Structure 1
Amino acid sequence: MNLPVTPAGALAAIVIMALVTYLTRAGGVLVMSRIPIGPKVERFINAMAGSVLVAVITPMAVHGDSAARLALLATLIVMLVIRKPLAAIAAGIITAALWRWWISL
């Protein structure tokens, strides 16, 4: 499928992606409402969330710049101390932004 590189083509691509996203989410809810979730399935789902997070973070820790590494460290420390994900994420974002601003001076 080729879409023209025009504003209308871009809008069509966005609408198609939104529709596919909605159908995927609605389909998931519909399917999972009909399947009983046992303890094994629940453990699997909980483990998947952590493994996806590790898969996203590991390349940043290995190949990222110093700001990315400091942000990961700040996020880890805040999460271990106060156990609030939103505060930990905010600490990581602020740390990366401030470090990049400081080294650009």
Structure 2
Amino acid sequence: MMLELTPLTAVLVIFLMAGVTYLTRIGGVLILAQLNIGPRTERFIQAMSGSALVAIVAPVAAAGDSGARLALLATLLVMLLTRKALLAIAAGIMTAALWRLFF
């Protein structure tokens, strides 16, 4: 089924996708809230989120230019010093932008 692309259908598709995204996120929380998980399973879940992050960041570090590597380093340092993810992400973005502006 093909929809004609109009402003209304574009907005409807965006809201539909947002709803599906929200349901998948909240669904996992609601399902896990009903389960009684042990400490071993909890450690596995916590380690998995770190593994997913490394799987995303490692290719950038390996294939990226100097600006990307410097941005990753800045992000890491700010995260270690402040423990604030948003601030660390902002530092990484600013570092990459400034590096590319001047070099």
TM-score by length of 2: 0.83
Letter in 1 for 2:5: V
CA distance in 1, matches of 2:59, 2:36: 35
Structure 1 unaligned regions, length at least 5: none
Which runs of structure 2 are paired with 1:31-46 in the superposition (5 Å)? 31-46=31-46
Cα pair 1:3 1:13 within 8 Å, conserved: no
Letter in 1 for 2:45: I
RMSD, matched Cα: 1.8
Cα pair 1:67 1:96 within 8 Å, conserved: yes
Cα pair 1:61 1:69 within 8 Å, conserved: yes
Using the aligned pairs only, state the percent identity: 60
C-alpha displacement of 1:29: 2.3
Which runs of structure 2 are paired with 1:23-38 in the superposition (5 Å)? 23-38=23-38
Q: 1:40 to 1:3 in 2, by over 3 A?
A: farther
The alignment partner of 2:37 has SS state of: coil
Q: 1:52 to 1:8 in 2, by over 3 A?
A: same
TM-score by length of 1: 0.82
| Map of 1:17 onto structure 2 | 17
Q: 1:65 to 1:47 in 2, by over 3 A?
A: same
Q: How many residues align?
A: 102
Structure 2 unaligned regions, length at least 5: none
